Structure 1
Amino acid sequence: YYAYLDSQQLLQTYIQLLTTEKVLNAASEKLGYPVYAGQASAQQVPDTQFVRLTVTNTDPQRAADIANVLVMVLIDQNEELQAVRYLTSEQNLQSQIDQVQSQITTMQTQINDISEATVQDQLVQVKAQIEPLQTQVTTLETEIADLQKNRYPTEEENAQLAEKEATLAQVKPILTLYQQLYTNLVVLGQPVDTGTNTSTRLQQLQTTLSLYQGIYVNLLNSLENVRFARVQNTPNVVQVEPAVASTSPISPRPFQSTALAAAVGLMLAAGIAFLIEYLDDTLKTMEDIERVMQLPVVGYIAEIQYESGSDESLYVTRQPRSPVSEAFRLLRTNLEFAGVDRPIRRLLVTSAGPGEGKTTIAVNLAAIMAQGGKRVVLVDADLRRPKIHRFLGLSNKVGLSDLFRGVVAVRMVSQQVQDVETVSVLTSGSLPPNPTELLASVRMEQILQEAEQDADIVIIDSPPSLVADVQVLAGKVDGVILIIHPGHTQEDASLATLEMLNRAGARTLGVVLNRIPRGRSDYYGGYRHYSPYYSGYHYYHSMDGQDLKPSRMRRLFGKLSPFNHNGHKKVEAGVVEENVIEKP
């Protein structure tokens, strides 16, 4: 395992060396033109000890030349780096060999000139050799002990340990020989028998000479061992395959770049779409409303498309046979079912925020109820931003606010709607400074009671639930319908509105999805959910009566999708799906 780690570290070292300034500068000098770090990149071939070197250049031949020269420079640099590791040991051994060789020459001279003074000189020289050797042995033993304490040594530490142990093994025998030599010289310097003094000295000098020669041989062997270790431990870096000039450029590749950009764009678009969907907290489908608000959806009103240049007006009277008119009739029917046990004489139309289309719902609902034979009073209780008078083209000089200032009958200030005779409209009148106090007064209750005397149902258009007016009005009516714009009304705002209505003791009949896009069958399919009779009716047709058939792609997705137009899972063949509106 450690050998594998060492080889991996060595490979990473070579990869880094290939892009160092020293190697790049040496390659630039050999090539005669500059080589930059960004041109070369190296990486390991998986599951091998090979390194792949890649060089980019506008000239393919130059790229090949740079790659080949970089490998040559790396080989030279590697040999230099490895040689430095053993350079100190070789120099020390060579120095000792030179000294021993000098000692041998001196001993040979002393043998010829047996002199006591020469022996003393040799003794001094041997002692001078023993002291540094003893210091070197002590130092090596200390360094070896420190390196052996590391449980997980690196490759460099292992090499240092081996080198120091080898040096210690070489130095110790030399120190022992020097010590023996020192002993002989000391004995030689002591007084001896005068009869055999010359022969004894000669014999001792020859013995000393033999010891020096042994030291010389050991030093030569040690030097050879160090050189052999240097050669053996030097990693071999060879060029397996020379670089050749490429025949095709690696860039630009327009088709590959276009495909990659398209894939990245597609993933980015999908990620953005997912993020938008994740962060979107608006109510979109009937299932969302039933899950979040626990209320039924009593109406599905599509986006009303007015002709260019025309103002807002009663759509159900201008287009009585349109799908939107049929949707308002369905809403009327659902409200009638909701009032079977508890008749609805006062109906409040509100929403969580502005721009939901509550005025459009209130006006067209009043007209469609009038077409059903009911007398309707439409009250604009939005005393902040009234819109009914502009919607129907009526005057707003006198209205609801004027009834609070004097005893005036409701029928005196109400106005009739053209083409719908049984609808009376009570506009807002001049805007008061305190609308909430007026709507909460006893006089407001008297006005509603008076309006009920001349109508079967009173429909009240209120401001959004952002103001307290809605809470005041909710306690004075028999039922409330909440208008929600799919994809725009937020869950928190809807829940806050519902909670406010519950605190006021209001009877919330349900939710009306308004301004549903006509091209979204998953929304508009809710109409078929409540009315099986009209399930085959073509909803998506133009003003001139021509049907707009769904595209082939939409029909294909409809067949492949596991959900039907209502957003529910498709039932199995032979099973009839029935939808019944439960009476309250």
Structure 2
Amino acid sequence: MNKDPFREETLDIRKLVFKYIRFWYWFVISIIIALAIAYFINKFSETVYRARATVLVRDDRKGGFRPGQIMGELDLFYQRNNLFNEMAILRSFSLVDSALRNMDVGVSYYNIGRLVGEIRTVEVYKNTPFLVVWDEDQTPLFNRPFNVRILSEDTYELELSNRKRFSFRNGGSKYILQFGELHQADNYGFRIVKNENFRPQSHVGREFIFVVHDLNILPGRYLSSLSVEPLNNEVSIVQLSFEATHSGRAIDFLNTLTEVYLRQSLQEKNTIAENTIRFIDQQIGIISDSLILAESSLEEFRMRKGLMDVSMISSQLFTELQRLDNQLAVENVKRQYYVYLLDYVDNEKDFRDVFSPSALGIDDPLLNNLISELSSLHAERSRLKVSATIENPNILMVNRKIDQTTQALSENLRSIQNASDILIDDLNRRVQQVENRISQLPGTERELIGIQRRFNLSDATYNYLLEKRAEAGIAMASNVPDHKIIDRARFAGIVSPKKRLNYTIALVLGFVIPLGFLIVRDFFDTRINEKKDVTDAVDFPILGVIPHNRKAARKEEVNLVVFDDNKSPVTEAFRAMRTNLQYFASSKKNKIVSITSTKPQEGKTFSAINLASVIALSDKKTLLIGADMRKPRIYEDFGIQKSPGLSNYLIGKNSLEEIIQKVNHNKNLYIISSGPTPPNPSELIESEKMGTLLSEVKKQFDFVIIDTPPVGIVPDGIHIIKNSDIAVFIIRQRFSDKSSLDFLNEFAAKLETKNICIEINDMKMTRSGYGYGYGYGYGYGYGYNYYEDKPQSNGNVFKKWYDLVNGTFNRKS
């Protein structure tokens, strides 16, 4: 009997709209509340501004011109750059810390506005009427708001909040102080001094708040509001964004950050140049002493011997020896540089301070590349350590690269040093050969050549070092930053509150919240709410739909709707049921119709009374039997005697003729009341006498309508249903549970009966309903009423408005 569970269902939007439109006032109230909340958020929340700046980062991976490419000596100290490394630098804690220490942001100042006991503050930046000067010998009280109320041109009131938030009533101590007077507490002290922005006419009576920030923690807060992103994938330009509660502070921070970034980049290059010059100066200091000594010796020898020059042969030997000595001096300087590099390798020093080999005329591409790579790796590790621990995988990977590159550099240096030692040995051997030839000259010339040789050697080395120092100085003087500020910081809009977005969200939430509540409520509602709930669950035909009347539900003891209001919609619904009965068990002339339900208060007695009444009005001889002996009601509604009744007949106390009672409402309507309540109603109904009774009355009456007990509660009515031509199950809208339909399917399957039909009772009609816009009210154990054409007003203007609005929707329905 169950419907196909895999049947595809379509969503009826129109039906849903008219289903929920009767709750229109929920949506109106919800939207009004949501818009009011959005208004207060927009009006009283703190405004956050955004500033933006763009910086050109020279990325070696993308090529491009750099300073020093035209003249090699100007490119001695160039550092290789990587876009993502530079972005990490711009977001590093150390760079932000350096920028903040170049700004005056250690103390924040706020204007005070008050709202419902709470303080609403607006940040004041560079326009405060006073400054806070802390005692440098004492630690400031960080992150605690101080309230300042300016009393006069010379005095102010100071109050310290006991809480780390702004509150109308701080509860702290108050002090009256003079501007410039030291306020000394147990562990801190400061002065408040007026500045050039102080205007007595504007500031006297005003209140301010200032908060001192810990500069060791402040960079972390700024980093959370700083964003650094590449402008796009095609260029090496990064965009910096910063959000703050004051647009001027946001702009100043970005400008300071980019300036410090460029200054540190240039400073790093200059540091390498300074190390180069320092190394050359050390070598010059050593050789200058030898040069002075050699010069003095040569001058003294010439004065003493009176010999100003040597012969031609001596001059040739001297020139050859001078050339070899110059080569030997240059190689010795280079070898000192190799020793200098090996010291960095062996002691694992930071290679960022190592200058380029080309500064000393060493043109070894592999050595240059290894030193440049090590310098970049050390710089990258230093940047990563700012925001990560030494166990970070990125740092560990960089350490491995440093170890590998250092090992390669060490091997390369030792190979170069060995080659340098071979060349120095060869030069020394050739020098020795020339010296042997000089030794054959006369003694005076030989001594003069020796002295001249020492002087020329020292002079050549000294001039070589001076030349290299001049080149390093030129390179240092020509150093410029590798990066460039494209756009200085500028105002880029308000981040929050976003007024239009907040109002839009409020409208959406104001609509979605009540809608969601209604949908969730309907989802968990297990009651039968519409005809579709019935037709989807069972295949039994719908005999009729009885409408609901909200007004009539307030009246009591009005069960005889058919007789009391013959033209009401309820009566018309029962007439439709009477017509539909002709198509059930049509082969039988006289019919027995049992009326039952799954539980009490679904309206079966009401339906039995009025169905029997409307059939009697059609000139059909009708008998109404009250078979619900546990809770009898029919005799009260018709004003007849309770005894003798059905129970009297079934126990053999009265005959059939004695228990049939005629009513005054219609000549064709007869009633058998339930009689006295017996102790065993189930056994009596299942007895042979009950079967005999049904057989006899079926011969005498055109229709026999039986009001049976609820079969979902007691089994009394099962025997009657088996012997009925038609079994009508009553389903009450918004009262009967959907599980009752499953029970009905199981009940019909067990009884193997196909004579079941359904009446939907108390149906509240809407546009998604089935025709009527009004109905009736009733209840099992309640009273009943019929439709009233026009309600009487009680004179209340709000009640009139409510009835008018609901009446409008009911008419639309």
The equivalent of 2:541 in structure 1 is 296
Residue 315 of structure 1, CA deviation? 0.7
Distance in structure 1 (CA, Å) of the matches to 2:272 and 2:223 = 40
Structure-2 residue corresponding to 1:231:
481
Once the two structures are TM-superposed, the CA of residue 328 in structure 1 deviates from its matched residue by: 0.5
Equivalence for 1:445: 691
Q: Which residue of 2 aligns with 1:329?
A: 575
Structure 2 residue runs without a partner (length 5+)? 1-58, 63-81, 108-125, 132-209, 299-329, 352-369, 378-382, 385-393, 440-446, 775-785, 793-803
- Deviation, 1:316, is 0.6
Distance 1:435 1:54 in 2: 83
Alignment of 1:122-201 (within 5 A): 130-134=338-342, 136=344, 141=370, 144=373, 180=420, 184=424, 188=428, 193=435, 196=438, 199=449
Higher helix share: 1
Describe the SS at the equivalent of 1:321. Answer: coil
Q: Distance in 2 between matches of 1:142 and 1:401?
A: 115
Q: Secondary structure at the match of 1:320?
A: coil
Select 1:503's aligned residue among 736, 742, 750.
750
Please name the residue that 1:575 is paired with.
none
CA change 1:49–1:87 in 2 (3 A) is closer
Q: Find the aligned partners of 1:297 and 1:200 in 2 and give their Cα distance.
A: 134
Whether the 8 Å contact between 2:297 and 2:451 is mirrored in structure 1 is: yes
2:548 maps to a residue whose letter is: E
Q: 1:371 aligns to what? A: 617
Rounded to whole Å, the distance in 2 between the matches of 1:201 and 1:404 is 156
Partner of 2:506: 261
Alignment partner, residue 106 of structure 2 = 29
User: Does the 8 Å contact 1:300/1:526 carry over to 2?
Assistant: no
Corresponding residue for residue 490 of structure 2: 241
- Counterpart Cα distance in 1 of 2:721 and 2:506: 56
Q: Secondary structure at the match of 1:502?
A: helix
Q: Is it true that 1:361 corresponds to 2:607 in the alignment?
A: yes
Separation in 2, partners of 1:427, 1:440: 18
Matched, 1:494 2:741: yes
| Cα deviation code 1:24-45 (max 9, x no counterpart) | 6844238555589699966789
SS in 2 for 1:241: strand
Give the match's secondary structure for 1:239.
strand
What secondary structure sits across from 2:579 in the alignment?
Answer: helix
Report the alpha carbon displacement of residue 300 of structure 1 after superposing the two structures with TM: 2.1
Is the CA contact 1:482–1:510 (under 8 Å) kept in the aligned structure 2?
yes
Which whole-Å CA distance do the structure 2 matches of 1:46 and 1:553 have between them? 58
Write the distance in 1 (CA, Å) between the matches of 2:574 and 2:675: 28
Q: Helix, strand or coil: the match of 1:28?
A: coil
Which of 100, 122, 125 aligns to 2:283? It is 100
Of the structure 1 ranges 104-113 and 122-131, higher mean CA displacement relative to structure 2 is found in: 122-131
Report the Cα distance in structure 2 between the residues aligned to 1:435 and 1:230, rounded to whole angstroms. Answer: 110
Q: 1:55 to 1:501 in 2, by over 3 A?
A: same
- The TM-score, its normalising length taken from structure 2, stands at 0.50
Which amino acid in the other structure matches residue 342 of structure 2? Q
Q: Aligned equivalents of 2:733 and 2:720: distance in 1?
A: 25
Secondary structure (helix, strand or coil) at the match of 1:340 reads coil
Aligned residues: 517
Q: Is the 8 A contact 2:644 2:654 kept in 1?
A: no
Q: What SS does the aligned partner of 1:338 have?
A: coil
2:642 is equivalent to residue 459 of structure 1: no
User: Is the counterpart of residue 66 in structure 1 residue 249 in structure 2?
Assistant: yes
Q: Is the 8 A contact 2:96 2:257 kept in 1?
A: no
Q: CA–CA distance in 2 between the matches of 1:222 and 1:184?
A: 26
**Percent of aligned pairs sharing the same letter:** 18
Partner of 2:760: 513
Q: Per-residue CA shift, 1:255-297, capped at 9, x if unaligned?
A: 9866653343123334444555566666555555444423332
> Which structure features the higher share of strand residues?
2
Q: Aligned pair in 2 of structure 1 residues 98, 285: CA closer, same or farther (>3 Å)? A: same
SS at match of 1:501: helix
RMSD of aligned residue pairs (Cα, Å): 5.9
Question: In 1, are the aligned partners of 2:534 and 2:741 still within 8 Å (CA)?
Answer: no
CA 1:405–1:364: 2 relative to 1, 3 Å: same
User: 1:497 deviation in Å?
Assistant: 1.0
Query: C-alpha separation between the residues in 1 aligned to 2:679 and 2:285?
Result: 121
Under a length normalisation based on structure 1, what TM-score does the superposition of the two structures give? Answer: 0.65
Say if 1:146 and 1:306 are closer, same or farther in 2 by CA, change over 3 A.
same
For the residues of structure 2 that align with 1:298 and 1:308, how far apart are their CA atoms?
A: 27
C-alpha contact 2:89 2:95 (8 A) present in aligned 1: no
DSSP-derived class of the 2:759 partner: strand
Task: Quote how far apart the aligned CAs of 1:427 are.
Answer: 4.4
Q: 1:93 to 1:126 in 2, by over 3 A?
A: closer
Q: Deviations over 1:166-209 (max 9, x none)?
A: xx99x989996997489548965997756636646865885687
CA distance in 2, matches of 1:435, 1:40: 81
* Cα shift at 1:68: 3.6
Residues 462-509 of structure 1, C-alpha deviation per residue, up to 9 Å, x if partnerless? 344533525454323222123233455454431331331232122344
Change (3 A) 1:369 1:180: same
SS in 2 for 1:134: helix
User: 2: distance between equivalents of 1:374 and 1:510?
Assistant: 21
- Provide, for residues 143-167 of structure 1, a one-character-per-residue CA deviation record: whole Å limited to 9, x for no partner: 959999xxxxx999999999x99xx
2 CA distance for matches of 1:358 and 1:520? Answer: 26
Distance 1:361 1:9, change over 3 A: farther
Superposed CA offset, 1:7-36 (max 9, x none): 699779868989978866844238555589
Shift of 1:319: 0.3
CA apart distance, 1:372: 1.9
Distance 1:323 1:242, change over 3 A: closer
- Is the Cα contact below 8 Å between 1:485 and 1:515 reproduced in 2? yes
- Bigger CA drift: 376-385 or 87-96? 87-96
State the alpha-carbon separation in 1 of the partners of residues 256 and 290 from structure 2. Answer: 49
